[in-house]
């Protein structure tokens, strides 16, 4: 079975490569069927290794992705070819060609970044906690270029009709007193269940990015919860696999970057 990969539709420079996996084309058994990319969810180690090998071959990855130990925080790991291990972080960035940034998701929002010059890329994992805490702003800061020089792509996440949340999530974004953010209120619609809200992660991400100066934002038209055939969803299934969102600079640009 071939891999069903999603390629971002955005005006990134030609040397920027990116993709998001779906759940098709791997070897993992139920409930991880079939292209599970995560090694921490209870899947067989050999199955995950095979899935990752298939991904590398399908995308012609220049090297193995740099996986993170994601904790719904705001830490951004700066990567190069010498980076090892699985650092505790929820985003990574690099300026080194051939170095592959990657995040894992199954309802949370993956956000890919590049600068217009094609010299830096980044990947962020933004669940509601990380989004509210500022993981996207931290990633923009780590890129170190003005917001209007950055492109962002919003990958597959739980959609606004499926993401029911409690008052604590609403308050985390709306805030109180001098920290109040009324603009975020537009991303919440009262649920039919009293005291609950339907939250739009994509809209919340766009608001956060806009406030960080990033207005060239693409994607954001998926729903992992509703599309059972194509996506993993933790909220829908509980024990399940993870998709990977990856971005890297073309390896052939490595020497050119070093010579600058």
Count CB-CB contacts under 10 A for residue 182.
8
Q: Tell me which residue of 207, 201, 8 sits closest to 114, measured CA to CA.
A: 8
Phi then psi for 124, rounded to 5 degrees?
-130, 145
Q: Which CATH class is domain 16-161+220-251?
A: alpha beta
Cα distance between residue 108 and residue 37, in whole Å:
15
Alpha-carbon distance of 211 to 256, in angstroms, equals 33
Contact predicate 256/118, CB 8 Å = no
Where exactly are the structural domains of the chain? 16-161+220-251
User: Residue 256: its pLDDT value, please?
Assistant: 42
The span from the CA of 209 to the CA of 203, in Å, is 10
Nearest to 72 by CA among 126, 145, 136: 126
Q: What is the pLDDT of residue 2?
A: 80
pLDDT along the chain (260 residues), means of 10: 91 98 97 97 97 97 97 96 92 97 98 98 97 97 98 98 96 73 92 95 97 97 97 97 98 48
What tens digit of pLDDT does each residue of 170-181 get? 999 997 554 568
Secondary element (H or E) of residue 217:
strand 216-219
| CA distances (Å), origin 87, targets 56, 163, 178, 180 | 21, 29, 35, 33
Give the pTM: 0.94
Strand order in the sheet with 76-79: 76-79, 91-94, 121-126, 109-115, 150-154, 216-219
Residue 166: how many other CB atoms lie within 10 Å = 13
Instruction: Give CA separation, 229 vs 15, 79, 153, 200, in Å.
Output: 32, 34, 22, 22
The Cα 151–Cα 129 span in angstroms is 23
Q: What is the pLDDT of residue 254?
A: 42
86 phi, psi to nearest 5 deg: -120, 85
């Amino acid at each position: 079975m071939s891999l069903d990969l999603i390629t971002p539709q955005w005006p990134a420079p030609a040397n920027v490569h990116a993709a998001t996996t779906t759940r098709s084309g791997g070897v993992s058994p139920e409930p991880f069927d079939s292209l599970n990319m995560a090694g921490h969810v209870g899947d067989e180690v050999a199955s995950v290794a095979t899935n990752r090998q298939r991904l590398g071959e399908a995308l012609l990855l220049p090297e193995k992705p740099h996986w993170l130990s994601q904790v719904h925080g705001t830490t951004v790991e700066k990567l190069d070819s010498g980076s090892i291990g699985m650092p505790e972080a929820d985003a990574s960035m690099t300026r080194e060609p051939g170095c592959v940034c990657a995040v894992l998701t199954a309802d949370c929002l993956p956000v890919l970044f590049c600068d217009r010059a094609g010299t830096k890329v980044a990947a962020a994992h933004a669940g509601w906690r990380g989004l509210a805490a500022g993981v996207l702003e931290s990633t923009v800061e780590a890129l170190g270029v003005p917001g209007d020089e950055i492109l962002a792509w919003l990958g597959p996440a739980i959609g606004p009709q499926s993401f029911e949340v409690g008052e604590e999530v609403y308050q985390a974004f709306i805030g109180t007193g001098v920290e109040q953010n009324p603009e975020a209120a537009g991303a919440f619609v009262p649920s039919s269940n009293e005291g609950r809200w339907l939250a739009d992660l994509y809209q919340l991400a766009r608001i956060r990015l806009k406030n960080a100066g990033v207005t060239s934002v693409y994607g954001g038209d998926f729903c992992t919860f509703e599309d059972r055939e194509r996506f993993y969803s933790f909220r829908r299934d509980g024990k399940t696999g993870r998709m990977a969102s990856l971005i890297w600079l073309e390896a052939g640009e490595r020497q050119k970057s070093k010579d600058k």
